[in-house]
């Protein structure tokens, strides 16, 4: 299975989530940047508020795309302990500080003075564009649990089979379009068109939220009836 774009993957994911959760009191949480287009599609389809959880990946010093740790905005870190055996502790501490600062920058840039959406006792649906090691999503789960949701669902287009089993022990439900036992090595491998989003693209979507953080209804121009032309 391949997805055309993040928007396309978000629409496919929304089709499943509408059947499971339509009408439930819930909040959609996207992981920026890549998860925001999917989160927006899901929030639009379910008519639910959209908020952000902003964990940060810490990549291996010789291969930044390979996650060895992930850190929450509050500084809680989840790591691949085996990978850490060859990592300099001072380097890791510096990376942790830099990623916390970047998470804070993104929150200020994307959300400004918007208040967090209350989720206590509600269903929280975490959305991203895909999962590989699962470290970043696990950090997001840790962060979200401090907000005391009633239930947590992770919703993603693609995830390795072994990672899905790990996440299933940490949340109430994992909804995926593809749980792949033969994972192709990167999220981008499952998309026809996959690139790194910029801040402006995230803001463009978030600016389409109303004061309650719900996607605004799309206004379709009324078509003229050719038969009634003067």
pLDDT in tens, 173-196: 999 999 999 999 899 999 999 999
Q: What are phi and psi of 12, to 5 degrees?
A: -65, -40
Domain carrying residue 45: 6-210
222 is a domain residue? no
Q: What are phi and psi of 181, to 5 degrees?
A: -75, -15
68 is a domain residue? yes
Order the strands of the 63-71 sheet from edge to edge: 56-60, 63-71, 77-79
Burial tier of 227 (Cβ tally within 10 Å: 0-12, 13-18, 19+) = exposed
**DSSP label at residue 215:** B
Number of separate domains in the chain = 1
Give 56's contacts (C-beta < 8 A, 6+ positions apart).
70, 71, 99, 100, 102, 103, 136, 139
Confidence of residue 219 (pLDDT cuts 50, 70, 90): low
pTM for this structure?
0.92
218 is a domain residue? no
Rounded to whole angstroms, the Cα distance separating 70 from 137 reads 8
Determine contact, residues 140/29, Cβ cutoff 8 Å. Answer: yes
217 is a domain residue? no
224 is a domain residue? no
Residues in the chain: 230
pLDDT score of 230 = 39
CATH number at residue 180: 3.40.50.2020
Element (H, E) at 124: strand 123-127
Element (H, E) at 92: helix 89-111
Percent of the chain with pLDDT over 70: 94
Q: Does 169 have pLDDT greater than 70? A: yes
225 is a domain residue? no
Rounded to whole angstroms, the Cα distance separating 113 from 35 reads 21
1 is a domain residue? no
pLDDT score of 217 = 83
Look-up of token digits 């009634």:
228
216 is a domain residue? no
């Amino acid at each position: 299975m391949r997805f055309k774009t993040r928007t396309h993957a978000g629409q496919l994911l929304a089709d499943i989530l509408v059947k499971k959760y339509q009408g439930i009191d819930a909040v959609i949480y996207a992981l920026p940047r890549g998860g925001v287009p999917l989160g927006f599609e899901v929030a639009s389809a379910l008519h639910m508020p959209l908020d952000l959880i902003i964990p940060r990946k810490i990549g291996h010093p010789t291969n930044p795309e390979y996650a060895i740790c992930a850190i929450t905005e509050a500084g809680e870190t989840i790591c691949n302990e085996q990978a850490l055996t060859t990592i300099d502790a001072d380097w890791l501490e510096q990376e942790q500080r830099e990623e916390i600062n970047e998470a804070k920058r993104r929150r200020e840039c994307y959300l400004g003075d918007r208040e967090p959406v209350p989720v206590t006792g509600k269903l929280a649906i975490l959305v991203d564009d895909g999962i590989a090691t699962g470290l970043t999503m696990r950090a997001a789960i840790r962060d979200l649990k401090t907000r005391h949701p009633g239930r947590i669902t992770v919703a993603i287009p693609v995830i390795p089979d072994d990672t899905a089993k790990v996440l299933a022990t940490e949340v109430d439900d994992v909804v995926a379009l593809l749980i792949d036992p033969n994972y192709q090595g990167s999220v981008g491998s499952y998309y026809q068109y996959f690139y790194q989003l910029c801040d402006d693209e995230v803001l463009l979507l978030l600016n389409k939220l109303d004061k309650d953080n719900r996607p605004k209804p799309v206004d379709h121009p009324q078509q003229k009836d050719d038969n009634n032309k003067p």
